[in-house]
Structure 1
């Protein structure tokens, strides 16, 4: 095999995703190899539900020297493995994708693969410590359920324009496409490595989409019928993009995305936001800000707590000294047409 790669997921790739780029050429064959990986795992009946990092850490601690014994260990639990564990075809695919790194006297996959409904999605291996890590976990499943519930209740019309803001591994756009297959889908992210994986995941799921490297909607003209967002909502001392939600105890990026999205809603358009909000003295500042934003633009807000108390361990962080709990919330902002 060739020399093992290390470091960031695509550390030797140029930033090919800059601006509009719906058909970046796979010049080194890595994307094709990763597509082959997903197809092979699906054919083998692979299935893995990804837990929180805290749960993952506890499972690893039970047997810190454990080696992988099956595909779930390799691609789900990110355990080191011996080369002879995998069939030659699979090992060759990983080599083509430059998805292997040396780990002691064994090997380790640089990617995890998680199940989401009928699909398998690539994302970063555990632990997700790198600044450009692509995260997938329980929030991804909740976000997917929120989108499914909304689009089952009220599907998008054919030809509608949909933007998955901060797409990460591509969860929002892929789930929405399964419900509304004849819409135009645009996936955005500030992380080019995320866009490359989102492109692969979308292709594996049979979803056509455009991709745009951007931190806001300014490169994309016009109005939108549906905007989706699952931004980070925790204050992260390391400042990792996939985790740090900024000010307002982590809700700042959520509010910023809403401020970008709501003015661009078409008539009958929706902005679907899944995020977290810190509750201080019984008050939810994000709810107040979103309500004011919706009113300012003549829109309706539907706001609900999905889970009243998550990430309780974060309250030990000095940044949360005045916070009593962190709630998971869904916020749907709708612009009703004048005739409605």
Structure 2
């Protein structure tokens, strides 16, 4: 069931299916299954994000936070073939699907894993995310405070959040936490939030973690 997409091991019986992500610059055929986020179609918020964000940095490491079966990460990997893309999720079924989808697409510049499998010292030139709002406000805030400080100097995150699920309050909270945040697009009650690194991150050496 959809409400269990943020479980590590979904209990829903498997029902594999294939969907298509068609954008002006790419066409990806994606395998999905029950127990993952938006298994029947690419989520509208994800589509709006992919249709409105600026091109990803051509080099460096890029992050898809809450990658699901991989539409955002695979789009980043397609648009920035010289970059290294990382997709992170808690759902092991979704991660298996994402790896399979990357192989099907012939993309070898992307890898997927659990948060604990990712080097915490890695810094990201960009983060794109359709964040898991339904995990609850406290858990969402913890998630963002874990990953946004890993933006490299000059890096930006782009988040898509539905207005009725708190996009405006999230924007205020991010600003309060020291991450300059602007709304850059709005469509079908979804907001695209562009989040810059904190000022102190702008002078942090890219090779290592903040001390």
TM-score band by shorter chain is: 0.7 to 0.9
1:110 Cα shift? 2.0
> Which of residues 90, 113, 128 in structure 2 aligns to 1:212?
113
User: CA separation in 2, counterparts of 1:115 and 1:169?
Assistant: 12
Q: Secondary structure at the match of 1:190?
A: coil
Ranked by relative contact order (alpha carbons within 8 Å, sequence separation 6 or more), the top structure is: 2
Choose 260-269 or 284-293, whichever is displaced more: 284-293
- Asked if 1 retains the 8 angstrom alpha-carbon contact of 2:19 and 2:41, the reply is no
**Match for residue 32 of structure 2 among 123, 126, 130:** 123
Partner of 2:180: 300
**TM-score under structure 2 normalisation?**
0.73
Shift of the alpha carbon at 1:246?
1.5
- Aligned-pair distance for 1:147? 3.3
> How far 1:157 sits from its partner (Å)?
2.9
Decide which structure has the larger Cα Rg and report it: 1
Q: Give the equivalent residue in structure 1 for 2:46.
A: 143
Normalized per residue, the structure richer in strand is 2
TM-score when normalising by structure 1: 0.47
User: Please, what is the CA RMSD of the aligned residues?
Assistant: 3.0
Task: Give structure 2 stretches of 5+ with no counterpart.
Answer: 1-8, 204-211
Distance 1:194 1:269, change over 3 A: same
The equivalent residue for 2:142 is 256
2:16 paired residue number: 111
Q: Tell me whether 1:133 sits opposite 2:133 in the alignment.
A: no
Rounded Cα–Cα distance in structure 1 between residues aligned with 2:146 and 2:119 = 12
Q: 1:279 to 1:172 in 2, by over 3 A?
A: closer
Write the mapping of 1:212-251 to structure 2, written as runs, cut at 5 A. Answer: 212-214=113-115, 219-233=119-133, 244-247=134-137
Residues 302 and 333 in structure 1, CA contact (< 8 A), matched pair in contact too: yes
Any stretches of 5+ residues in structure 1 without a counterpart? 1-14, 16-100, 102-108, 234-243, 309-327
Distance in 2, Cα, partners of 1:197 & 1:225: 25
Describe the SS at the equivalent of 1:199.
helix
Within the candidate set 147, 164, 175, 1:291 is matched to 175
